[in-house]
C-alpha cells in the first residue's frame, strides 16, 4: 500500500456508476452485459437494481472476471444497490447500520486498501416534498458514515444516483423545476454543504462550465432525443484524493435505462501523476450509435417534472466522454 494512492494498485482505477432502473429488466433487453464488457470498469456501482441475488439469472450472478455483492430492499422490486468488482475487496460494508435506511437497500461499500468505493441510491423527495425529511436524513447519515471511514484513515469514492441536480447548469429547465423534487432548495443546499465538508463533484470540478451534459432523461416527451435532462448521477471523492483523478466521463451513448453511466479514472501506480490541463475539459468526444446528433447538442420540448411514488429513473445508444486535468 502506498501513501500516493492507497490501493492495491489497479483494483479500483476505473470506476463506473449506473442507475440501471431494474437489473433483470435491463439484462432481459440485452442492455447490461454488453455495456459491462464495453466499458470494462474495475468496479461497477449499480443503483435501483430492484431485485435480490437469488432472483438473478445465472449469467448475472456469475459474470466472468467479476465478483458481485448486493444490498437489496426488503420490499420486492424496489430500490437496491450492487457492486461488481474485478477483485475481491479487503472488506465489505452493507448498509449504514440504521434500519430506517438499510431496509431500502441504499448503501453498499467495498474497501480496497485505504480506499472505500461506495454505491449509494439517494431517496426521491417525491411530489410536494412528501419524503424530503427522509431524503435529508439519509444524506446526513451517509455523510456521518463517510466521515467515520475517513477518520479511520481511508479515502472515499462515492458514486450513485444522488437524486438532485445541484446547480442550474445541471438540468435543462431549471426555472420550470424549482418546486419539483430533485431541484428543491433544501436538496440543493444539502449538496452544497456536502461538498463544502470536504468532497469533490469530480465532473463539475473538472468541467465547471460545460453545459447540456446530463445523466437522466424522462421517458416522456421524447426527452432524451431532445436532451431535456438532469445530471443526477455523481462520482465524488474526498478532497485529498482529488489530485489523483485523471479522467471523468458521462456515457450518454448508453441506453437501456433512463439513466446513463458516469465514470471516473484515477492515475494508476504509486508514482503516476494525473494529466494537467485547463480548468475545463481538454477534450470532449461525442459519438452516437443512431446517427443522430449527440444528445448533448440538442434541446427543446416540454419542461420535465419529477416526483411521484418512485425514483425518477426511466430510457436507449450516444457517448460524451471527457478527459482532462484540473
pLDDT digits (tens, 9 = 90+) for 91-130: 999 999 999 999 999 999 999 999 999 999 999 999 999 9
161 assigned to active site = yes
Distance, CA of 258 to CA of 106 (rounded, Å):
19
Left if phi > 0, otherwise alpha if psi is -120 to 50, otherwise beta: which for 186? alpha
The total domain count for the chain is 1
Residue 7 lies in a domain: no
Residue 180 lies in a domain: yes
Total H helices, total E strands in the chain? 8, 16
Residue 118 lies in a domain: yes
* Long-range interactions of 23-28: CB distance < 8 A, separation 24+: 23/49, 23/50, 23/51, 23/56, 23/60, 23/82, 24/50, 24/51, 24/55, 24/56, 24/57, 24/60, 25/50, 26/256, 26/257, 27/57, 27/59, 27/60
Interval 28-68: pLDDT, tens: 999 999 999 999 999 999 999 999 999 999 999 999 999 99
Grid coordinates given for 301:
420540448
Q: Any idea what the CATH number is for the domain that residue 96 is in?
A: 3.60.10.10
Residue 3 lies in a domain: no
Distance, CA of 36 to CA of 145 (rounded, Å):
29
- Top pLDDT among 169 and 312 is at 169
Q: Does the structure show a pLDDT above 80 at 285?
A: no
Residue 95 lies in a domain: yes
Give the domain extent around 281.
14-323
Average of per-residue pLDDT across 212-236: 97
Distance, CA of 272 to CA of 244 (rounded, Å):
8
Strand partners, 234: 160
The two beta strands, 155-161 and 115-121, are parallel
Residue 5 lies in a domain: no
Does residue 15 contact residue 264 with C-beta atoms inside 8 Å? yes
Grid coordinates given for 104:
431500502
* pTM (predicted TM-score): 0.85
Does residue 324 contact residue 280 with C-beta atoms inside 8 Å? yes
Residue among 109, 133, 104 at smallest CA distance from 119: 109
From the list 161, 201, 233, 258, the catalytic residue is: 161
Amino acid at each position: 500500500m502506498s501513501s500516493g494512492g492507497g490501493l492495491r494498485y489497479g483494483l479500483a482505477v476505473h470506476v463506473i456508476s449506473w442507475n440501471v432502473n431494474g437489473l433483470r429488466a435491463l439484462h432481459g433487453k440485452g442492455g447490461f452485459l454488453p455495456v459491462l464488457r464495453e466499458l470494462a470498469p474495475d468496479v461497477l456501482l449499480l443503483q435501483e437494481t430492484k431485485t435480490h441475488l437469488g432472483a438473478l439469472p445465472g449469467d448475472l450472478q456469475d459474470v466472468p472476471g467479476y465478483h458481485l455483492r448486493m444490498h437489496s430492499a426488503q420490499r420486492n422490486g424496489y430500490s437496491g444497490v450492487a457492486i461488481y468488482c474485478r477483485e475481491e475487496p479487503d472488506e465489505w460494508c452493507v448498509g449504514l447500520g440504521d434500519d430506517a435506511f438499510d431496509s431500502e437497500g441504499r448503501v453498499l461499500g467495498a474497501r480496497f486498501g485505504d480506499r472505500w468505493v461506495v454505491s449509494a441510491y439517494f431517496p426521491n423527495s417525491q411530489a410536494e416534498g412528501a419524503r424530503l425529511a427522509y431524503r435529508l436524513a439519509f444524506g446526513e447519515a451517509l455523510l456521518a458514515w463517510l466521515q467515520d471511514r475517513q477518520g479511520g484513515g481511508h479515502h472515499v469514492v462515492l458514486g450513485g444516483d444522488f437524486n438532485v441536480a445541484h446547480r442550474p447548469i445541471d438540468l435543462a429547465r431549471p426555472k420550470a423545476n424549482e418546486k419539483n423534487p430533485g431541484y428543491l432548495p433544501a436538496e440543493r443546499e444539502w449538496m452544497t454543504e456536502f461538498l463544502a465538508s470536504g468532497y469533490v463533484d469530480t465532473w463539475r470540478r473538472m468541467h465547471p462550465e460545460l453545459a447540456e451534459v446530463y445523466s437522466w432523461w424522462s421517458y416522456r416527451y421524447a426527452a432524451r432525443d431532445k436532451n431535456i435532462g438532469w445530471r443526477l448521477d455523481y462520482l465524488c471523492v474526498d478532497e485529498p484524493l482529488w489530485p489523483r483523478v485523471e479522467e471523468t466521463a458521462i456515457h450518454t451513448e448508453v441506453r437501456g435505462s433512463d439513466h446513463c453511466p458516469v465514470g471516473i479514472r484515477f492515475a494508476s501506480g504509486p508514482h503516476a501523476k494525473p494529466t494537467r490541463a485547463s480548468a475545463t475539459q481538454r477534450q470532449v468526444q461525442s459519438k452516437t450509435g443512431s446517427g443522430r446528433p449527440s444528445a448533448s447538442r440538442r434541446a427543446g420540448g416540454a419542461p420535465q417534472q419529477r416526483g411521484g411514488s418512485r425514483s425518477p429513473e426511466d430510457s436507449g445508444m450516444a457517448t460524451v466522454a471527457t478527459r482532462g486535468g484540473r
